[in-house]
Structure 1
Amino acid sequence: MTADDVSRVQGVEMDDTQVDRTLEELGHGTLSLAQAGDAYGVPVSFGYDGDRVFLYLLRFGDDSKKLAFVDDTNTASLTAYEMDSKFDWRSVIVSGSLHDVDDEDVEHMEEVMEDNAWFPTIFPPTEPITGSKRVELRVAEATGRKGEEYD
C-alpha cells in the first residue's frame, strides 16, 4: 500500500450533522462494555434521537453477561459502521454513560427505536428471551470518519 493509499484509507473527519445522520440511518452496531479490566463487545440495535442512544438489552436464559457488564461499566462505547470498499465507508464512535430509561421516556424511546433501529432476526430459537432492559447511552462524545469516496 502506497503512502497515498494509506492517506485515502484513513478517511476524513465527519462533521456533527454527518455523525447524527449516520447514527439515525444505521441503527445497529457494537456496544463495548467493561468490568474489572475486562472488555465485552456485543452486537446491538439502537435508536438515536439526536441526543441519546436507546437500546433494548435482551436476556436469554437465567443469566446475562451483557447485563452484568452494563451495571459495572462507567463509560460505554458504541461503534456503528458500514463499508462498501476500502475507500467507501463510514464509522461513528459514541461514548458516554449508560442509564436505565426513565418511565416517562419509555414511549419516546419506543418511537425512536421504531423510527431508526434495525431489528435483525438473530435470536437463537432454542433460547427464548427471558427479559430485557431499556437503556440509554447519554452521549458524552460522538466522532466519525468516512472514506473519501463516501457521499
Structure 2
Amino acid sequence: MDVSNTDGRELRGEPMDEAAVDAFLHERGVGVLSLADGGDAYGCPVSFGYDGEQLYFVLLRFGEDSEKLDFAAATETATFAAYDFEDEHRWRSVLVRGPIEPVPEDRTEAVDEALFDNAQFASLYPQGEPMTERTRYRLVPEEVTGQQGQGRTL
C-alpha cells in the first residue's frame, strides 16, 4: 500500500500475515467502529474483545438516545479499524469488515470473557444520567487486512 503523507513523502506498508493480525487484535483492545445507515456514516471509538474468530463490542445507551445503537441496528456491513503508530516506520493497522449483529443471550458469557481478555475500557458513565441499555454486538469478519511499517514492527 502506497500512501502519500502531508509532506509529500511516500509511506510504504507491508502486509501482515494471519498470525500477526491475530496477535495484534488480541493485544490491541481499542479501535474505531464504522457504521452506516443508508448514505449516513458514523464512526466511533470503541473497546473490543476478540476470541480469535469474531470481534465483540458492548454498546451503551444513557437516557433515551444512542446514536451508536441506532446506527448499529441499521448497519448491514460494518468496518472496524485498529491501529498503532509510533513513527513513520513503526506502525500497524488492521481493518475488519463484515456484518454486525446483536449477540444472542445464550452467548453473552463467552462475549464477556473475550472482552475481559483484551478490551481496554474508558470510563464512560456520565453523572446523573442512568445507563438504560447495554447491548453486546459481534462483528463477523468477512474480510480482514493488515498492514505494517516496511521492514520494522512494533
When normalised by structure 1's length, the TM-score is 0.90
Shift, 1:61, TM fit: 1.8
Q: Aligned runs of 1:29-108 on 2, under 5 Å?
A: 29-108=31-110
Task: Give CA-to-partner distance per residue, 1:75-114, whole Å, 9 cap, x none.
Answer: 0000000111111111100011011112221111111111
* 2:66 counterpart of 1:28: no
Distance 2:153 2:125 in 1: 32
Which of the pair is proportionally richer in helix? 1
Corresponding residue for 2:153?
150
> Which is further off, 73-82 or 141-150?
141-150
> Which is further off, 99-108 or 47-56?
99-108
- Gaps in structure 2 of 5+ consecutive residues: none
Distance 1:59 1:80 in 2: 23
Q: How many residues align?
A: 146
Q: Aligned pair in 2 of structure 1 residues 111, 88: CA closer, same or farther (>3 Å)?
A: same
> Which is further off, 137-146 or 127-136?
127-136
Question: After the TM superposition, which parts of structure 1 deviate over 6 Å for at least 4 consecutive aligned residues?
Answer: none
Distance 1:86 1:122 in 2: 32
- Gaps in structure 1 of 5+ consecutive residues: none
Q: Aligned runs of 1:105-124 on 2, under 5 Å?
A: 105-124=107-126
Q: Aligned pair in 2 of structure 1 residues 63, 10: CA closer, same or farther (>3 Å)?
A: same
